[in-house]
Amino acid sequence: MSGIVSKYSSTRTGASRPTPPLLDNHGRKITYLRLGITDRCNLRCIYCMPEKGIDLLAHDEILTFEEVSRLVAIFCRMGLTKVRLTGGEPFARLDCLSLIDHLKREVGVPHLHLTTNGVETHRHIRRLKQIGLSGLNVSLDTLSRSRFVELTRRDRLDQVLRTIDEAVRCGMHLKINSVITESTTDEEIRSLAGLAKQVPISVRFIEHMPFSGKTATSVVQEELLSTRVNRLFPRLHTVLARGPSTARLFSMAGFRGTIGVIGGQTRCFCAQCNKVRVTPAGRLKTCLYGKSAVDLKQMLRSGKDDGDLENAIRGAVQERHIDGKAAELNNGFKEQQSMASIGG
Ligand code: SAM
Ligand code: SF4
């Protein structure tokens, strides 16, 4: 087989036809799949999960390698060009590296990305580069060791920094994601931003969202994040104001990289949203803040063919809410799940 279309051939039906693009009921084209491949994790970030961890899915509740591969091929045939693997911690799944290799080489995902906490990732950077991973997002909320332990409940900062060093050395397209909580100090924000001064990477500050047990009203937003970043770096200029990306990007004279702000709680990016999610349990979510739309795993395991799956996905995106606030309102539950079970 040759060519991009044949790469998306179904492992089940042999169908290889590209299908019309995936459009939602508000005219937004869906081109990006965020795929949670596990709910397990080797850190316990205080904003993501409790100290004892979350109630984990049984292994047979998690999508298999073959199921993931088949779903990704179906999404790619519908015009999705970007897939991000996330979790939980993707490397907590034993077959993570072979899955990445398979999705890139056999399924032919045009732009394959990975979001990781960076603890084990340094071992795999060279291989990821060889496979052709398009980009790596490493989550890191502080450069202080004691604060890292406080925030993640684990003493693993050195390993994460090793991952960042190795990724920079290998020329990997790298972004650092830093969740800013009420306890984050100005000094921590300054030192994280300093990474973008030294190397051509993007450091993105993310508004803390009320997942894992906190209700929306309990989040204290004393100062909107972008106001705070602008106060700390008054000479910033805008590089990217808006677009399909959730981040607004800034830079500054003397910086080799960029600084980004992601308003996850403010939700200023919904109008351009091009993304859907599949959770480790195989549920399609058309909005981070909404209920799951379709149980794709149940469909996969009850013998549905690719056409049935495609129709179910198309039907779900036709019922998308206009934005995250509307989705959350309709969601009905006051407490959100951990990001680890949604896929962050
Ligand atoms: N374990 C990997 C990691 O930490 O990068 C991937 C999964 S994690 C759930 C994905 C992203 O979600 C991370 O960047 C993490 O910081 C972010 N996240 C988790 N809980 C959050 C929350 N309550 N508010 C904002 N971001 C959150
Ligand atoms: Fe694990 Fe990522 Fe959640 Fe932290 S944010 S506990 S690293 S899944």
Q: What is the mean pLDDT of residues 2-22?
A: 58
> Has residue 252 been placed in a domain?
yes
In the sheet that holds 247-251, the strands lie side by side as 237-240, 247-251, 258-262, 202-207, 174-180, 135-139, 111-116, 82-86, 32-36, 275-278, 283-285, 294-295
The residue ranking higher by pLDDT, 45 or 17, is: 45
Residue 265, pLDDT score: 63
Whether 40 maps to a domain, the answer reads yes
Q: Give the distance (Å) from ligand 2 centre to CA of residue 22.
A: 30
pLDDT score at 332: 67
Binding site membership of 264 for ligand 1 (Cβ less than 6 Å): yes
- Kindly list the protein residues whose Cβ atom lies closer than 6 A to any atom of ligand 2: 41, 43-45, 48-49, 87-89, 117, 139, 339-340
Alpha-carbon distance values, 243 to 89, 229, 240, 249 (Å) = 27, 20, 8, 10
pLDDT digits (tens, 9 = 90+) for 106-122: 999 999 999 999 999 99
**At residue 219, does pLDDT exceed 50?**
no
Question: What does pTM read for this prediction?
Answer: 0.91
**Residue 256: inside a domain:** yes
Residue 278 belongs to domain with CATH number: 3.20.20.70
Domain interval for residue 234? 7-342
Q: Domain total for the chain?
A: 1
> Does 111 reside within a domain?
yes
1 in any annotated domain: no
Is position 319 within any domain? yes
Does the pLDDT of residue 182 top 90, yes or no?
Answer: no
Does ligand 1 come within 6 angstroms of the Cβ of 205?
A: no
Question: What is the 4 CA–ligand 1 centroid distance (Å)?
Answer: 32
Q: What is the CA(344)–ligand 1 centre distance, in A?
A: 5
- Burial of 185-209, coded b for 16+ CB within 10 Å and e otherwise, reads eeebbeebbebbeebebbbbbbbbb
> Which residue type occupies 112?
L
Query: Which residues fall within 8 angstroms of residue 173, CB to CB, at 6 or more apart?
Result: 134, 135, 136
Å from CA of 88 to ligand 2 middle = 6
pLDDT at residue 341 tops 90: no
Q: Grade residue 291 by pLDDT with cuts at 50, 70 and 90.
A: confident
| Least distant ligand from the CA of 137 | 1
Answer whether residue 2 is part of any domain: no
Tell me what pLDDT residue 75 has. 97
The ligand 2 atom nearest the CA atom of 179? 5
Q: Which two tokens stand for residue 271?
A: 């109008």
**Taking 70 as the threshold, does the pLDDT of residue 242 lie above it?**
no
Q: Residue type for 6, please?
A: S
Token code pair at residue 157: 């900062």
Specify the pLDDT at position 94. 95
Q: Of 121-130, 169-178, 300-309, 327-336, give the lowest mean pLDDT range.
A: 327-336
Percentage of the residues of the chain whose pLDDT score is greater than 70: 86
Report if residue 272 sits inside a domain.
yes
Q: Are 201 and 171 in contact (CB under 8 A)?
A: no
Q: Ligand 2, from 116, 339, 342: best to mutate by most atoms within 8 Å of Cβ?
A: 339
